[in-house]
Amino acid sequence: MSESDVDVLHQYDLKERGFTALKEESTADMSKSLREGWMKSLLNRLSEMVNRERGIQQQQVSDYYKKAVNHIDTDGDGELSSEELFYAVHHPEMEIRNITARMVVKHDSEWSGDSSHHKWEVYFKNYDLLRMQYAKQWRDDVEWMSQVEAFKGGASVWHMHPVMFLDAIADKFGDTIDFQTSLGIYRISKKSAEFILSWEAYVSKPYVPAGDQSSGITVGYGYDLGQQTTSSAREVLSKYYSNNQVERLLTAIGKKGDQARAIVHGLSDIIISKDNALDMAMFLKQRYCQKVVDAYPQAINLPPDSAGAMLSLIYNRGPSLALPKPNDPIDSRREMREIRDDFSAGNIRKIPGRLRSMKRLWANQRGLIKRREGEAQLIENEIGS
Q: Are 326 and 371 in contact (CB under 8 A)?
A: no
User: Taking the domains of the chain in order of start, what are their residue ranges?
Assistant: 10-169, 176-223+271-383
3-state secondary structure of 154: coil
pLDDT for 382 equals: 93
Contact (CB, 8 A) for 246 and 221 = no
CA distance 83 to 259: 60
The count of other CB atoms within 10 Å of the CB of residue 310 is 27
What pLDDT score does 12 carry?
60
pLDDT band at 91 (very low <50, low <70, confident <90, very high): low
Confidence of residue 373 (pLDDT cuts 50, 70, 90): very high
Mean pLDDT of 246-272: 95
Q: How many residues does the chain have?
A: 385
Q: Which amino acid type is present at position 104? A: V
Q: What is the 3-state secondary structure (H, E, C) of 209-266?
A: CCCCCCCECEEECCEEHHHCCHHHHHHHHCCCCCHHHHHHHHHHCCCECHHHHHHHHH
Rounded-to-integer distance, Cα 59 and Cα 285, Å: 22
pLDDT at 287 exceeding the cut of 80: yes
CA distance 274 to 276: 5
CATH of region 176-223+271-383: 1.10.530.40
* pLDDT at site 183: 92
Number of H helices, E strands in the chain: 16, 8
Residue 28 has pLDDT above 90, yes or no: no
Q: For strand 218-220 and strand 203-207, is the pairing parallel, antiparallel, or unpaired?
A: antiparallel
Say which range, 3-17, 190-204, 233-247, has the weakest mean pLDDT: 3-17
What was the pLDDT predicted at 114? 86
CA 305 to chain centre: 14
* Most confident region among 19-23, 79-83, 368-372 by mean pLDDT: 368-372
Residues 34-39 have a mean pLDDT of 60
Tell me: pLDDT of 36 over 60.
no
Percent above pLDDT 70 for the chain: 79
CA dihedral 316, 320, 325, 331 (to 10 degrees): 50
Q: Tell me the pLDDT tens digit for each residue of 288-336.
A: 999 999 999 999 999 999 999 999 999 888 899 999 999 999 999 999 9
